[in-house]
A and B are shown apart, each in its own frame.
Chain A
């Protein structure tokens, strides 16, 4: 008499003798797969979703809800009256020339980012309704994320800590700046 394969697999009441003798081990292949995926996510996930502050600097960022996530931006850290422009340590006196150099690099990068929007205008010469065209252009331009300097400072410090950066950035022609926060939004 043939038994169903499902009943023969039962641990408690196997329906044939062969199944009783069969040593069914725990299938851990799927568990290994799940663990592997978890390891890959933990290795690459946080670096993809947003830049983390170097914990060695021991900087506590202020919390903000109306913030946007950073995306490989140029950062300047403030700690103990010293300024860390990427990996270079600067004093307040050295900030001016360094930011002027950086401003030139950023201007060149922003020009290269803006280029597709200019081409788009040339491609759509035949558009008659200029109002619709202007609106779509405004949306396209707003989506372009221009490179800007991100200031990382400790929330427990004074606002005067970032004074030299504001003054040097102003002299370098940087009109827009970004203040780093701990992102709490969606």
Chain B
């Protein structure tokens, strides 16, 4: 009899309810404060100003000029000195600012497909934006080009790029 009472005193349980409450509060706090957006990157090369001693003849490339009026100037150059092998200006559907919409995307991808069919070695695309082109739209276009496994070169934004183009 005495023995069984003694066992009852020893057999105790830790109250886990406060622990559960604390953990619940911790989870709620962490869920609301955690940043879920993960940062990634798009790898690009410098389009101009290569100071490497190994730099020789430029490879065949497509030059894409992003104009602030919304147009896209495309040129496929096989040689620096010769005229463009293929040239096209994609007109914007609306004026005001550059917006890489579905129409520009389809026409740009069609142009690149045409050029790469004629020259399979063509893997380089140079992106030359004009001052005033939104950064987000430029990245949107580079993202689409990256899906084609092309090497992207980005040049610094310049003023008056449209004057040199055919728009």
Asked if A148 and B26 sit within 8 Å, CB to CB, the answer is no
Query: Main SS of chain B's interface residues?
Result: mixed
Contacts of B52 in A (CB 8 A): 173, 175
Query: Main SS of chain A's interface residues?
Result: mixed
Contacts of A148 in B (CB 8 A): 43
Q: Which residue of B lies closest to A169 (CB)?
A: B46
> Distance (Å) between the CB of B58 and the closest chain A CB?
14
Contact with B along A147-186 (1 / 0, CB 8 A): 0101011111111111100110111011111111111010
For this complex, into which size category does the number of interface residues on chain B fall?
Answer: 35 or more
> Which of B27, B40, B133 contacts A38, CB < 8 Å?
B27
B86 at the A interface (CB under 8 A): no
Contacts of A153 in B (CB 8 A): 135
The total of interchain contacts (Cβ-Cβ below 8 angstroms) comes to 173
Docked Cα-Cα span, A22 to B132, in Å, equals 77
> Which of B17, B49, B133 contacts A170, CB < 8 Å?
B49
Contacts of A183 in B (CB 8 A): 37-40
> Which of A156, A166, A173, A180 contacts B40, CB < 8 Å?
A180
Q: Which residue of A lies closest to B155 (CB)?
A: A166
Q: Which residue of B lies closest to A153 (CB)?
A: B135
Docked Cα-Cα span, A178 to B142, in Å, equals 12
